[in-house]
Structure 1
Amino acid sequence: MRKLINSLALLGAAILAPAAAHSADAYPSKPIRMVVGFAAGGSADINARIVGQQLGKELGGTIVVDNKGGAGGNLGAVEAKRSAPDGYTMFYATSAVVLAPSLYAKPGFDPYADYTPVSLTATIPLLLVVNPAVPAKTVNELVALAKSKPNELNYGSSGAGALLHLGGALFAKEAGIQATHVAYKGSAPAVADLLAGSTQFMFLPINEAMPHVKGGALRALAITSDKRSPLMPDVPTIREATGKSTMDMGAWQGLMLPKGVPDDVVSKISAALKKALADKALQDRLVAQGSIVLGGTAKDYSDYMKLEGDRWAKVIKDTGAKLD
């Protein structure tokens, strides 16, 4: 009986081996779900749809975006983590995933252990903007104004612990100023109060700030990327404005998979994503959204996540921004 069982086991392995070897050949055989941890219409959602459309073409399949917004992106991260590791669930991750372990005692996921990184896709730099009534036309003038009025200038954000909050806190720390943070439930009410003059400055993703700047409702002082944006070439980088590179930052995005997806499927997705990101039409669409197109290897992505996680963990600790 033991010999029979062993023989059957060997036969089964022999039958399954070719199937495993060719599992990527048949992939995808059904629509792929791309989980986004934020609501439809936001930057992550828009870029996920742009990337997903082209990635689906490269894979020869269809990718459907599934918005799982809530808890600062945590609900989407948990949803992706719990999904079957078969390649039919992707996770369009953002910088929020590396903030979560420092902000929450139990975020429900480990960004470094629960997923397989594929590649960074894009980053959206932030604009430092002020209400036009603020008598500051440069970053240095804003800093001088804030130093002359400790704690009298307010900056808004889309919520406590959000990148817009942490960006403002980092700026205040690096500039040596004291300013009061005002947290809102989303960027829309924060922008509304900035336009009304209730707050004086704010860091906003370039795609959200640009219409207000071009319409004269806000004044842009600097952009947080290492190069000027082609969409707003007259706005200096914050490095140019301050001489410091420590305030370079952006809302980055990338593609991850639940841990355990077969290596050959991961490789197929990786190769397809590389082709997708090299597509000129896709690049033009992302740039039109204010994004800087990225790319690179899985290791590049993994290493960058760790650097970002460590960087923001220190900011969160220094500013006391932990949420629970």
Structure 2
Amino acid sequence: MNPPAFPRRRRQLAAALALLALPLLATAQAAAPAWPKKSVRVVVPYPAGGPNDLIARLLAQKLSDRLHQPFVIDNKPGATGMTGTDTVAKSPADGYTLLVSASVHVIYPSLFQKVPFDPLKDFSPVSLIARAPLVLSVNPELNVKSVQELIALARSKPGQLQYASSGNGSATHLSAEAFKTQAGINLQHIAYKGSSPAMNDVIAGHVQLIFDSVGSTIPYIKAGKLRPLAVTSAKRSPAVPDLPTIAESGVPGYDISTWYGLWAPTGTPKEIVEQLSAEVHAILQLPDVREQLTSRGIDPVGSTAAEFRNYNASESTKWARIVKDSGAKLD
């Protein structure tokens, strides 16, 4: 007696449906993201709370939202940022360890004799995130109201005007040294242990001038405790649009900013680097991100990986020259 045809037809139909499903399954697997498939560690080589940390956390949150995996901040301060940076240099190049750091990243070899990594060779540049210009300000009692008047006064009193910095090798130090060189003047450097004591002594009139971040300077400008002369970037800052740049104030070519970038260990797959770069660029166009940064005097930028690689190289050369002229070796 032959078996009923109905069950056999059901089995044939199931087999046919399974065959039809195979292309759909293959398409779904192809559409699944190759990266990231797990949480990504974002190393910040400085303590929590500073501008580097703020930028990293803002970026990490947006990347988590867009890529549907946690991007977790790991603050690893120490050795002027070299401890955390070295951690990333020695991590697997698989896209699951990233670095958000500042422009000092490319300055380390100029400042220190012993650096445990090569900032250009041991990292894959992903994107320039933002720039933060400084403001050149003077004590209001100093009889100058422009960069040109300051230069003229400095030339009439060589070595007598003093500028405060937050420490040897800091952005506030090196930006002033670059200004001295390009303006052809002689200023005396007074180094402090941090930005706050440096700023306090300028406000008190013990030191005549200071280069400091837009965010730190604006409250004192509004209170009438400092007189701003110019910003250090090539373009005016949206946070203080009425302030001219130093370059347009008679020192052509002057362009100094602290900047922040995203790196991966060298050898990270190109596809991951380019995906990350595109995501960062898109994030930096979001209105809420731009508002959070610009309100703190930080200008969002964004770049391709190739552009950022070239920028790393050019900034390394520029800062090496500035450090050499300043004599700012730290060891």
Report the Cα offset of residue 70 of structure 1.
Answer: 2.9
Where does residue 189 of structure 1 map in the other structure? 197
Change in CA separation of 1:24 and 1:121 when aligned onto 2, cut-off 3 Å: farther
In structure 2, give the amino acid aligned to 1:161: G
Alignment of 1:151-300 (within 5 A): 151-245=159-253, 247-300=254-307
| 1:322 and 2:329 are equivalent in the alignment | yes
Q: Out of 189-198 and 132-141, give the one that drifted further.
A: 189-198
Alignment of 1:47-62 (within 5 A): 47-62=55-70
In structure 2, give the amino acid aligned to 1:252: W
Where does residue 94 of structure 1 map in the other structure? 102
Report the Cα offset of residue 176 of structure 1.
Answer: 1.6
Where does residue 140 of structure 1 map in the other structure? 148
Task: Name the larger-Rg structure.
Answer: 2
Change in CA separation of 1:243 and 1:91 when aligned onto 2, cut-off 3 Å: same
For the residues of structure 2 that align with 1:25 and 1:42, how far apart are their CA atoms?
A: 33
Query: Is the Cα contact below 8 Å between 1:53 and 1:63 reproduced in 2?
Result: yes
Report the Cα offset of residue 195 of structure 1.
Answer: 1.8
Query: Is the Cα contact below 8 Å between 1:50 and 1:286 reproduced in 2?
Result: no
Where does residue 82 of structure 1 map in the other structure? 90
Report the Cα offset of residue 182 of structure 1.
Answer: 1.4
Query: Is the Cα contact below 8 Å between 1:32 and 1:87 reproduced in 2?
Result: yes
Change in CA separation of 1:188 and 1:69 when aligned onto 2, cut-off 3 Å: farther
For the residues of structure 2 that align with 1:270 and 1:241, how far apart are their CA atoms?
A: 35
Unaligned runs of 5+ residues in structure 2 are 1-25
TM-score (ref. length: structure 1): 0.88
For the residues of structure 2 that align with 1:177 and 1:24, how far apart are their CA atoms?
A: 60
Where does residue 70 of structure 1 map in the other structure? 78
Where does residue 13 of structure 2 map in the other structure? none
For the residues of structure 2 that align with 1:129 and 1:205, how far apart are their CA atoms?
A: 10
Where does residue 12 of structure 2 map in the other structure? none
- 1:16-68 Cα distance to aligned partner (Å, 9 max, x none): xx9xx979825333332211122222221111222222122121122222222
Report the Cα offset of residue 310 of structure 1.
Answer: 0.5
Query: Is the Cα contact below 8 Å between 1:58 and 1:273 reproduced in 2?
Result: no
The total of aligned residue pairs comes to 304
Query: Is the Cα contact below 8 Å between 1:122 and 1:295 reproduced in 2?
Result: yes
In structure 1, give the amino acid aligned to 2:276: I
For the residues of structure 1 that align with 2:233 and 2:84, how far apart are their CA atoms?
A: 27
Query: Is the Cα contact below 8 Å between 1:118 and 1:256 reproduced in 2?
Result: yes
Change in CA separation of 1:153 and 1:280 when aligned onto 2, cut-off 3 Å: same
Change in CA separation of 1:22 and 1:109 when aligned onto 2, cut-off 3 Å: farther
Report the Cα offset of residue 95 of structure 1.
Answer: 0.6
SS of aligned partner of 2:218: helix
For the residues of structure 1 that align with 2:179 and 2:237, how far apart are their CA atoms?
A: 20
For the residues of structure 2 that align with 1:117 and 1:74, how far apart are their CA atoms?
A: 17
Where does residue 312 of structure 1 map in the other structure? 319
